[in-house]
Structure 1
Amino acid sequence: MKILLKNGTVVSSKGKKHSDVLIEDGKIAKVASGISDDAARVIDCEGEFIMSGVIDAHVHLREPGGTHKEDFATGSKAALKGGVTTVLDMPNNNPPTDTIERLLAKYELAKKKMVCNSRFYILGTAENLNDVKKADMACGVKLFMGKSTGGFVIDDATLESFLKNIKTKPIVVHAEDEERIEVRKKEFEGDENPAVHSLIRDDESAYIAVKKVLHLAKKYGSKLHLTHVSTKKELEVLKKFKSKKITAEVATHHLFLNKNAYKDHGNFVKMNPPLRSEEDRVAMWEALKSGLIDIIVTDHAPHTIAEKKESYENAPSGVPGLETLLPLMLDAVNHGQITFERMIEAMCEKPASIFGLKGKGFVKAGYDADLVVVDMLKEGVVGKGGYATKCGWSPYDGWKLTGWPEIVICGGSF
């Protein structure tokens, strides 16, 4: 099927250009003004913007092992609803994705169930370095310096071993210092106020871990990607080590929420790393705009409402975010918090570059037809009409946003 997007404005990191886009056989066939094709289905995009489909490099779709929270079908539908056409799924499942066999099984299952594009990480452990070296189909290797869902924490020797020996794929690190977190847990034992989460997993725990892993990455010339940077202290040390091989991401909740949100949302805004101060939140925006932080992700980590209503100690960490990623950022563009061009770079182009996603991230002839047509004037309310994610809630529920995806095309199909 041919599709012709007429009269739109194509946006990239280089700027905006009034263009038509012709799609054929799942690929972008031509990008130019004045395209005509009698065999194509024509969609008038006058007054709207055409961008690459969003690439979310950090999601937890919970399959296998947690499919009461989310699965490949519901998670990928939530992604497309929010303009995300490619997701990179984390390996902390039950069982974990820590062998080539389990990684391949995930890809096979995704083919049957997912409606968007997907790539999968392999988990790094003390025992599987050789497997990871051979896992060419993995988009990266994930290492946990601090415990999160699944509890897959590694020691310093394992961390160094991976940074020394893995050279062909990104090493993606959750950097929180587990030793400090355990000490802080004892200090605040018995405190059931969810706000204590930001005190237990404090900025120092992030700083210690980030500093350690950055030193090792520099020592070995590793391709390091820091996940969900959330504090000014991390940015200060990142600035000293920043290079083409060292990249970083920020999650939307660290851009749009601060620790004051515990008052109204309690455990529903409990995540790892936790919400930070307003000063930290503002610093994330500045680092994103300057390019110190390379990309924007959701860290989509759904849990059920019932699970989130448990006590602070028992409630799991994580929030959903796939459906709200693009609307939140388009609203930010409308409010002058970031340029449209920088947003495209951070959500489409840079993720494709960092993780080697060929044919993704750009609106160019020959690239995959993963496209989003957005209406920057459209107003909407988060949650109105329900959610596609299985968990059925959002920390942004009720937020009024301007700028929404109007049409989402993935692989040349609606």
Structure 2
Amino acid sequence: MKLPSILIQNANIVNEDKIFQADVLIRDGKIAKVGENLSEESYDEHLDATGLHLFPGMIDDQVHFREPGLTHKAEIGSEARAAVAGGITSYMEMPNTNPQTTNQEELQKKYDRAEQVSLANYSFYIGATNDNLEEVLKTDPKKVCGVKAFMGSSTGNMLVDNEVTLEGLFSKVPMLIATHCEDEGTIRANTAAYKEKYGEEVPISCHPEIRSAEACYKSSSMAVRLAKKHNTRLHILHISTAKELELFSNDKPLAEKRITAEVCAHHIWFSKEDYDKKGTLIKWNPAVKDASDRAALLEAVNNNTIDVLATDHAPHTLEEKSNTYFKAPSGGPLVQHALVTFLELYHQGKMSLEKIAEKTAHHPSILFQIEKRGYIRENYFADLVLVDLQDPWTVDRSNVLSKCKWSPFEGQTFKSKVKHTFVSGHWAFKDGTFDESVKGKRMSFER
């Protein structure tokens, strides 16, 4: 299907550490021209973006869309729509589904499904277990974003805690390994101590003490040690503590780093003081921790110790979340509200627009070596999001697009609103309405 050409005029473009007004011409799914006064060019459709800011589409390197097997919580189709409405044009999805994505057959099934239903561009991690190294090594680095290793907080054989297995992974896998780092032994000991004190009625406010900073650091430091030993390309997901920041550096360009880190929207927005009001709705693994951790993480984003902003979107039903501490699952929906959360931090003077574009688009592109995405550049795919920085709206259940139909941001008024989203040149989201006639594309990687 041939896509119509589109001229976006008079946009305030946020790209490569600059903000400037210009036009963008989209043709054949890519950015044909960026410049002033492009109205003389031929085009099929036109959008006057006066007063709006044009960002490269957010590339979310960590989502859980729950398909296959957990589709009562979410589906690839529903969550991709929510992502596009939130300004996320590309995502990388996790392997802890049912069945788990731990072999090439299940991995291919996900790609086949996304090709049919995903409005956003997509890639899927293959999951590591204690006994599937040979299957992991079959993965094509040019077609798959990375290998996911749960070094804490997973179910069944996806908890990779065997030292021999970890040595094998870190020494033999040539592509990026993304890790969830929390030490299970520490967490089990903390859980036992709190159960002895409270029984089954442990308060949710104890979550950051059970899944403690010590548990995070012990596991993260082990991953870093292994990566340095084997020169592994390591990416540690959802850093949640100030202590872990000492494991990372900002003394070289991102493209030269072998060890990188991500922080998620909830860890730089919420703190443990919010448990009293939000309860299990903000139960995540790793846990939201102290306000001092939140401040340190935000500083690390701004000084490039932390490389990427993401979501860890992980929906559960409201019924599942509305439970006691041990019975309520961890995770929540975030793709629709992550970009506006980062923009709210801009309004608070805590992060620049240029930094948001860098951490949500440029850096994921560099870090994962994504082909022709993540920038507003000629001949790159037209993954673009237009935002009105002065169009306030309030989150409530009537406007939540994830299948679970709730959000930890309910009641929050955001100053900024996503108005339009273009995915691989397709005008997928038009001021509140979707056009699903064209689906997103499978990402490829220059490795």
Runs of 4+ in structure 1 off by over 3 angstroms are: 148-151, 239-243
Corresponding residue for 1:157?
164
State how 1:109-258 maps to structure 2 within 5 Å: 109-136=113-140, 137-148=143-154, 152-155=158-161, 156-167=163-174, 169-189=175-195, 190=199, 191-239=201-249, 244-258=257-271
1:378 aligned onto 2:384: no
Structure 2 Cα separation of the partners of residues 23 and 394 of structure 1: 34
**Do 1:374 and 1:405's aligned partners in 2 also have CA atoms closer than 8 Å?**
yes
Range that drifts further, 145-154 or 353-362: 145-154
The alpha-carbon deviation at position 151 of structure 1 amounts to 6.6
The match for 1:35 among 16, 34, 38 is 38
**Per-residue CA distance 1:268-321 (angstroms, 9 max, x = gap):** 111100010000010010000000000001000000000011221111100110
1:320 aligned onto 2:333: yes
The alpha-carbon deviation at position 398 of structure 1 amounts to 1.1
**Do 1:49 and 1:373's aligned partners in 2 also have CA atoms closer than 8 Å?**
yes
**Do 2:63 and 2:312's aligned partners in 1 also have CA atoms closer than 8 Å?**
yes
Give the secondary-structure state (helix, strand or coil) at the position aligned to 2:274: helix
**Do 2:130 and 2:158's aligned partners in 1 also have CA atoms closer than 8 Å?**
no
The alpha-carbon deviation at position 346 of structure 1 amounts to 0.3
1:335 aligned onto 2:348: yes
Count residues with an aligned counterpart. 413
1:297 aligned onto 2:297: no
The match for 1:89 among 87, 93, 99 is 93
> Closer, same or farther in 2 for the Cα pair 1:315/1:49, shift >3 Å?
same
**Do 1:94 and 1:150's aligned partners in 2 also have CA atoms closer than 8 Å?**
no
Structure 2 Cα separation of the partners of residues 212 and 293 of structure 1: 18
1:79 aligned onto 2:78: no
The match for 1:347 among 351, 360, 374 is 360
Give the secondary-structure state (helix, strand or coil) at the position aligned to 2:123: strand
Unaligned runs of 5+ in 2: 428-447
The alpha-carbon deviation at position 233 of structure 1 amounts to 0.9
Give the secondary-structure state (helix, strand or coil) at the position aligned to 2:345: helix
The alpha-carbon deviation at position 65 of structure 1 amounts to 1.2
Aligned letter for 1:324?
Answer: H
Q: Over aligned residue pairs, what C-alpha RMSD do you find?
A: 1.5
**Per-residue CA distance 1:170-222 (angstroms, 9 max, x = gap):** 10010111111111111111242112221111000001111111111111111
**Do 1:103 and 1:138's aligned partners in 2 also have CA atoms closer than 8 Å?**
no
> Closer, same or farther in 2 for the Cα pair 1:80/1:217, shift >3 Å?
same
The alpha-carbon deviation at position 330 of structure 1 amounts to 1.2
**Per-residue CA distance 1:9-28 (angstroms, 9 max, x = gap):** 21113211211000011111
Fraction of identical pairs, as percent = 38
The alpha-carbon deviation at position 389 of structure 1 amounts to 0.1
Corresponding residue for 1:273?
286
Corresponding residue for 1:14?
17
Q: If the length of structure 1 is used for normalisation, what is the TM-score?
A: 0.97
Structure 1 Cα separation of the partners of residues 45 and 398 of structure 2: 28
Range that drifts further, 232-241 or 269-278: 232-241
**Per-residue CA distance 1:15-72 (angstroms, 9 max, x = gap):** 1121100001111111111102343311111121111111010000000111000001
**Do 1:330 and 1:404's aligned partners in 2 also have CA atoms closer than 8 Å?**
no
The match for 2:275 among 262, 277, 280 is 262
Range that drifts further, 14-23 or 288-297: 14-23
Give the secondary-structure state (helix, strand or coil) at the position aligned to 1:6: strand
Structure 2 Cα separation of the partners of residues 375 and 300 of structure 1: 24
**Do 2:263 and 2:308's aligned partners in 1 also have CA atoms closer than 8 Å?**
yes
Give the secondary-structure state (helix, strand or coil) at the position aligned to 2:390: strand
Give the secondary-structure state (helix, strand or coil) at the position aligned to 2:38: coil
**Do 2:130 and 2:159's aligned partners in 1 also have CA atoms closer than 8 Å?**
no
Structure 1 Cα separation of the partners of residues 156 and 263 of structure 2: 22
The alpha-carbon deviation at position 115 of structure 1 amounts to 0.9
**Do 2:149 and 2:160's aligned partners in 1 also have CA atoms closer than 8 Å?**
yes
**Do 2:7 and 2:43's aligned partners in 1 also have CA atoms closer than 8 Å?**
no
> Closer, same or farther in 2 for the Cα pair 1:319/1:149, shift >3 Å?
farther
**Do 1:13 and 1:342's aligned partners in 2 also have CA atoms closer than 8 Å?**
no
Structure 1 Cα separation of the partners of residues 26 and 323 of structure 2: 48
Give the secondary-structure state (helix, strand or coil) at the position aligned to 1:188: helix
> Closer, same or farther in 2 for the Cα pair 1:171/1:218, shift >3 Å?
same
Structure 2 Cα separation of the partners of residues 268 and 210 of structure 1: 26
Q: If the length of structure 2 is used for normalisation, what is the TM-score?
A: 0.90
Aligned letter for 1:343?
Answer: I
Aligned letter for 2:183?
Answer: D
